[in-house]
Amino acid sequence: MNGANSYNICPRCGNSNALSAKYCSRCGGQLKVPEEPVICHKCHAHNSPMANFCRNCGAELKVGWQTKICPKCGKEVDAHDSVCTCGYSFVTLQQTAPAAKPVDSRSASEARGKKVYKIKGGRGWAIASLVLILLLAYYILVPLGSGNMLFRPQGLADFDKGLVTAGSDNVELWYGGDCISAAFSAALDGNLSSFGVANCIISVLVVITAFTMAIQLAVCIARIVNDKRNKLIGWYYLAMCCVSALSAGLIFIFSTLDIPESLSWLSKAFALTDGYSIGYAVWSIPLYYLVFFFMSLCSRAKVLKERK
């Protein structure tokens, strides 16, 4: 800024302010206080930007009401001119500039960097999640039943073979409820060691999935009522998808290996004897976590631009 300029021009609205002003009197924008000294045209002495006369020779300085600097081209023009030779209009900007309150520099810096979320509009995603959770909970957790008390179509059970298939003829199908019930009974009888590592792993995954679904159902109901979105990405779902898929994959590999007699204790520990295998339904557990990971990405609250 030229030291001969007696006005502090607001770069936001073009209003002419006093040199000592820190904020624009029209729009409230923060101004830069000039620090460049005024050089006397007669003796070339350096004077304060607020000086009207030279401190060395007393010559009148070109300050006060006489001039102002165009913020577009930097040219010094008469204080009463409304348009600069470069075409910059002081009057137009002053008339169209909206009035605003002075902005505190500290509060503005604190506001910058904070994320602003648009959290409304999550009711549709919550309803879709609720329906999907109920369907997957039925498919993963509800036991097969027996006799006339079948809780799922027999054709579906014949196809997916449950989470776990046991028995010499592969006729015993376990779903989530069966796994939890069998693990609980084995623990009560003190035979959990004979229950098998593979069965324990599947049962633990089923219990974790059941708790996750229960919590997720409560969250979905709350979001349906409040019509809000989630701010966070469901990294938990991605982690559990990897863990459950890796566990099921290892059990599947072990169940297909031809374990020699010298390592029969290994097959017994994993309960891989007597026709043990895992069915197609076990892959619905990692699929459940994967689906809701992507749903958390899609239904996440929109992050707005930072406040200026």
pLDDT in tens, 109-144: 554 555 666 677 778 888 988 999 999 999 999 888
pLDDT at 246: 92
> Is the predicted pLDDT of residue 231 greater than 80, yes or no?
no
Measured in residues, the chain has a length of 308
pLDDT at 308: 39
pLDDT at residue 306, rounded to an integer: 42
Task: Output the six-digit token pair for 274.
Answer: 């007597």
Can you give the pTM of this predicted structure?
A: 0.56
For residues 165 and 171, give the distance between their C-alpha atoms in angstroms, rounded to a whole number.
Answer: 7
Residue with tokens 């620090």, as numbered in its chain: 35
Q: Supply the pLDDT for residue 186.
A: 78
Confidence (pLDDT) at 112: 53
Going from N- to C-terminal start, the domains of the chain cover 1-103, 117-304
Q: Which of 24-33, 65-74, 174-183, 293-302 has the lowest mean pLDDT?
A: 65-74
Q: What is the predicted pLDDT for the residue at 35? A: 57
Element (H, E) at 117: strand 116-118
Q: Would you place residue 194 in the very low, low, confident or very high pLDDT band (cuts 50, 70, 90)?
A: low
- Measured CA to CA, the distance from residue 242 to residue 236 in angstroms comes to 10
Helix (H, G, I), strand (E, B), or coil: what is residue 171?
A: coil
Structure tokens at 47: 């004077």
pLDDT at 66 over 50: yes
Higher pLDDT, 304 or 50: 50
Write out pLDDT tens, residues 28-52.
887 766 555 666 767 877 776 667 7
Q: What is the mean pLDDT of the chain?
A: 75
Q: What is the pLDDT of residue 88?
A: 77
Q: Which of 30-44, 77-91, 260-274 has the lowest mean pLDDT?
A: 260-274
Secondary structure element (H or E) that encloses residue 17, with its range:
strand 16-18
Average pLDDT over residues 175-189: 83
* Low-confidence winner among 51-55, 200-204, 234-238 (lowest mean pLDDT): 51-55
> Phi/psi zone of residue 196: left (φ > 0), alpha (ψ -120 to 50 degrees), beta?
left
Residue 209 pLDDT exceeds 60: yes
**What is the b/e burial string over 248-280, where b = at least 16 CB atoms within 10 angstroms of the residue's CB?**
beebeebbeeebeeeeeeebeebbbeeebbbbe
Give the largest CA-CA distance in the chain.
Answer: 115
User: 2 or 265: whose pLDDT is higher?
Assistant: 265
Contact of 95 with 13, CB cutoff 8 Å: no
Q: Would you state the pLDDT for residue 13? A: 82
